[in-house]
Each structure stands twice: as structure tokens, then as C-alpha cells.
A and B are shown apart, each in its own frame.
Chain A
Amino acid sequence: EIVMTQSPATLSVSPGERATLSCRASQSISSNLAWYQQKPGQAPRLLIYGASTRATGIPARFSGSGSGTEFTLTISSLQSEDFAVYYCQQYNNWPLWTFGQGTKVEIK
């Protein structure tokens, strides 16, 4: 099983600042990585797929990068609606998806 490890567990950021979230795979997953945003009481929402392609309707302030085992999600200027939990997911070992444990982005 491919293990996905996210860091940090919690990120405290002020509105307008940049947030950088990391995700590491236990083995190479090429670019088969997605990022999701989840707010309390809601289902996860797809932000990024293919490691760097924004999903439909996702603002340009969200960007993804990386390949192989190291990936990054960057939120260039945090808005109030961006405070949430973010998960990375590998789909290289399909159909066996695995998710990171999540990074909570909170208001500083």
C-alpha cells in the first residue's frame, strides 16, 4: 500500500498570506495526485488533479506542483473561505486509493 504523509498537521496563516502544504508518497506515483478541500460538515471538494491541474471553477490562487514522491499545494493569498482541511490522494495504485492524514489551515 502506498502511504501518503502530509505536513504540517496544522498550519496557522493570516488572511492574505501564502500557505504551502506538503504531501509525500512512500513510493513514486508519477503525477497521479489530487488535492481536496474539506470544510466542516461537507464532503471533500476536488481542487487539483494530475498534481498541477486545477479542477473546474477553482480559483487561480490554488496551485499544485511536484511529481514522483514530493508534492506541494500552494494557496497564494489566503481568503477567509480557504480555512479548511486539505487532503492529498494518490490514484496511481488504482483502484486502491490512499489519502494523506490532512493539513488543517487555520486563522492565525
Chain B
Amino acid sequence: QVQLVQSGAEVKKPGASVKVSCRASGYTFTNYYIHWVRQAPGQGLEWMGIIYPSGGTTSYAQKFQGRVTMTRDTSTSTVFMDLSSLRSEDTAVYYCVRAAYGDYSDYWGQGTLVTVSS
């Protein structure tokens, strides 16, 4: 069965960086896109960007340009989301989400809580 398993919770200080991983299984890793979506406490869902594992191409939301980097390791079917210059407003649950080209999301990771606090 399709699974997206994310890394564990993180606590970071303002100005630091965080790297969240998402390991995929149960399907051909290079055939689907992975989006990253975050959710601040008590808030809605916010799209951050996308990576195509086949070629590694990425596209980021303008809000995160310059601060976010998405990469992948095809040998382990894992994608990574690196967010730098963290501030308190980045405290959120970060989800990796699978989607076919041009399509909605069908599978979500369990989420990774990132807390930014001094």
C-alpha cells in the first residue's frame, strides 16, 4: 500500500534551518510528484512547493522563494524539504503529499511538527 513516512518532530531556534524527510513506499517513486503543504496551529493549509522525483525539478511558492529547497534521493525513495532562516511564524505541521501530474493529492504523510522558539 502507498505510504509516505515523515521524519520526527523538530524544535529549532529562530534563524536556524530545518530539514524534513518523507520516505515513499508502495508505488513507483519517480512516477508521482511530491508537494509540501504546511499548517500552522489552528490554521488552514498552505502550499509550499513541489518536486518531481524523476528529474528533481522543483517549483516553489513565491512566499518561500529563497528560503526553501526541495531535493530527493531516488536510491531511498525519499524527498527532503529544507527551510532556512526560521522564524516563529514557521511553527507548523509540515506534510508531504503525493499527486499525479496536474492532479489533486491522494496520499498524505503523517505530518512533522516543527516548532520555532527561542
Which of the candidate stretches B22-30, B76-84, B102-110 sits at the interface with the other chain? B102-110
Q: Interface size (A, Cβ < 8 Å)?
A: 20
B104 contacts A46, CB within 8 Å? yes
A98 touches B104 (CB 8 A): no
Chain B residues bordering chain A, tally (CB within 8 A): 22
Report which of B45, B50, B99, B103 forms a contact with A87, defined as CB distance below 8 A. B45
Q: Is the CB of A46 within 8 A of B103?
A: no
Question: Per a CB cutoff under 8 Å, which of B47, B99, B108 touches A44?
Answer: B108
A58 at the interface (CB under 8 A from B): no
Q: A96 CA to B48 CA in the complex, in Å?
A: 9
Residues of B near A95 (CB, < 8 A) are 33, 35, 50, 59
- Selected from A55, A94, A98, A99, the residue in CB contact (under 8 A) with B103 is A94
Q: How many A-B residue pairs have CB under 8 A?
A: 52
Partner of A43, one of B46, B61, B95: B95
Q: Which residues of B contact A75 (CB under 8 A)?
A: none
Chain B interface mostly helix, strand, loop or mixed? strand
CA A89 to CA B37, docked complex, whole Å: 12
Whether the pair B45, A34 counts as a contact (CB closer than 8 A) is no
Shortest distance from the beta carbon of B101 to any chain A beta carbon, whole Å = 8
Q: Say yes or no: B44 contacts A91, CB within 8 Å.
A: no
**How many whole Å from A88's CB to the nearest CB in chain B?**
10
A-B pairs with beta carbons under 8 Å apart, 30 shown: A43-B108, A43-B110, A43-B111, A44-B45, A44-B95, A44-B105, A45-B108, A46-B104, A46-B105, A46-B106, A55-B106, A87-B44, A89-B45, A91-B99, A91-B103, A94-B102, A94-B103, A95-B35, A95-B50, A95-B59, A96-B59, A97-B35, A97-B37, A97-B47, A99-B37, A99-B44, A99-B45, A99-B47, A102-B44, A102-B45
Binding site for A on B (CB under 8 A): 33, 35, 37, 44-47, 50, 59, 61, 95, 99, 101-106, 108-111
Can you add 16 more A-B contacts, CB < 8 Å, to A44-B108, A99-B37, A101-B44?
A34-B105, A43-B95, A43-B110, A43-B111, A44-B45, A46-B104, A46-B105, A87-B44, A87-B45, A91-B99, A94-B102, A96-B47, A96-B59, A97-B35, A97-B47, A98-B47
